[in-house]
Amino acid sequence: MDKTTENAETTNADEAREERLASRWRKPLVLYAATWATTTFVGFVFYGGGSWLGAVLFSVPLMIILTAHELGHYWQTRRYNIPASPPFFIPFPLPPFGTLGALIRMSGRVPNAKALFDVGVSGPLAGFAATLVFLAVGLANSTLVDAEPAAGEALVFGEPLLFRWASLLFFDRSDPTQVLTMHPTAAAAWVGLFLTTLNLFPMGQLDGGHVLYALLRRRAVYFSTALFIAAAGSVFLFERWNWLAMLFLIALFGLEHPPTADDSTRLGPLRTAIGWGALALVAIGFTPNPIDVESEPPEAEKSVFFRKEKTERATDADFATQKANFRDERGKRAKSWGVFNENSTKTTC
């Protein structure tokens, strides 16, 4: 074989490799772009009061949180040479999230428990770190207002303990007649916190299921089964029917986690502490009653809310003017988008 033939074969092999790489990433990138579009659309309609500025202040933080989460997983699959697809984001052009999250397909068995742990925990921790940053920024730009009957329907967000504690760093929440009206970035952080802790539930193929299996190995199924039974019982006892679909999907994929190629690998004290700490985030970051639509002032435990637009949409200029002119009950300049009464022609978040 002469040198010219060798060069031609090398070129062809490089071109084939590049084509496979492009084909591998084409669909994930299209879905990623579509998810940017759907989260921005939901931000425009629900969180931005019809303003593109408000839409971006919701979608950009949310997509950064979700991207950090998925890249945390993907980086670990590359680190351990686990065959895995790029992240597939799931666009969903309906409120309140604008997305159904994302998934990564792994083919083949994970090499050991340490690799499973790192893959499972890195996504939630990366997303959680980004969430904390945007939660601080969003709460710093949110505002307290007097709870009054809504001009229309109110989108009421339940407060996880972590969200409540963080809000206390910025506001005095002792007055039960006041509610916290979220800035779009705070709403994005709330969504990020909810999705992160939902994924950390220690069941089946959820991120928390990976972490729990790495911690307990084959004993994990007993813990997952007991938790699933308790969750199902709570759904029926407290009539939280909106969680039935989630429980069905978990049961469909199975509560028993498949073993790794080497379950004997020890995690060590640091990973063990991080693992139990990550699972404990569920207790302070999750709320069983996340979102309600109400026409009355929200109750104390659901004091984070935003009023839905009832009339014409505000332009960006109107949005900026309303923000600049609005004053809270103490006569101070509001730090966030205003909440207007039923006589207002435009309602913003």
Provide the terminal-to-terminal Cα distance of the chain, rounded to the nearest Å.
71
Tokens of 2: 């002469």
Handedness of CA 49, 101, 158, 244 (dihedral sign): positive
| Residue 149: per-residue pLDDT | 53
Contact 195, 206 (CB under 8 A): no
Q: Which residues pair with 179 in a beta bridge?
A: 145
Enumerate the H helices of the chain as residue ranges.
3-42, 52-79, 113-140, 161-168, 184-199, 207-216, 220-237, 244-253, 268-285, 316-325
pLDDT at residue 187, as a whole number: 92
Q: Which residues of the chain have pLDDT under 50?
A: 8-9, 150-151, 300-314, 319, 322-349
- pLDDT by residue (tens digit) across 245-269? 888 888 888 888 999 999 999 999 9
Residue 304 near residue 157 (C-beta atoms within 8 A): yes
Other C-beta atoms closer than 10 Å to the C-beta of 341 total: 11
Structural domain boundaries of the chain?
14-325
Residue 312, pLDDT score: 44
Residues 37 and 21: beta-carbon distance below 8 Å: no
The overall pTM is greater than 0.85: no
Q: For residues 92 and 99, is the Cβ–Cβ distance under 8 A? A: yes
- Whether the Cβ atoms of residue 60 and residue 187 lie closer than 8 Å to each other: no
Per the rule left: phi > 0, alpha: psi between -120 and 50, beta: everything else, 5 is alpha
Q: How far apart are CA 59 and CA 97, in angstroms?
A: 9
Residues 240, 198: Cα–Cα separation, whole Å: 15
Residue carrying structure tokens 């190995």:
217
Q: Which candidate, 143, 196, 159, places its Cα nearest to that of 322?
A: 143
DSSP string, 33-81: HHHHHHHHHHIIIIISTT-HHHHHHHHHHHHHHHHHHHHHHHHHHHHTT
Contacts of 240 (CB under 8 A, 6+ apart): 234, 288, 289
pLDDT of residue 336: 36
Longest Cα–Cα distance in the chain: 86
Identify the burial level of 296 via C-beta atoms within 10 angstroms of its C-beta, where 0-12 means exposed, 13-18 middle and 19 or more buried. Answer: exposed
The confidence score (pLDDT) of residue 158 equals 85
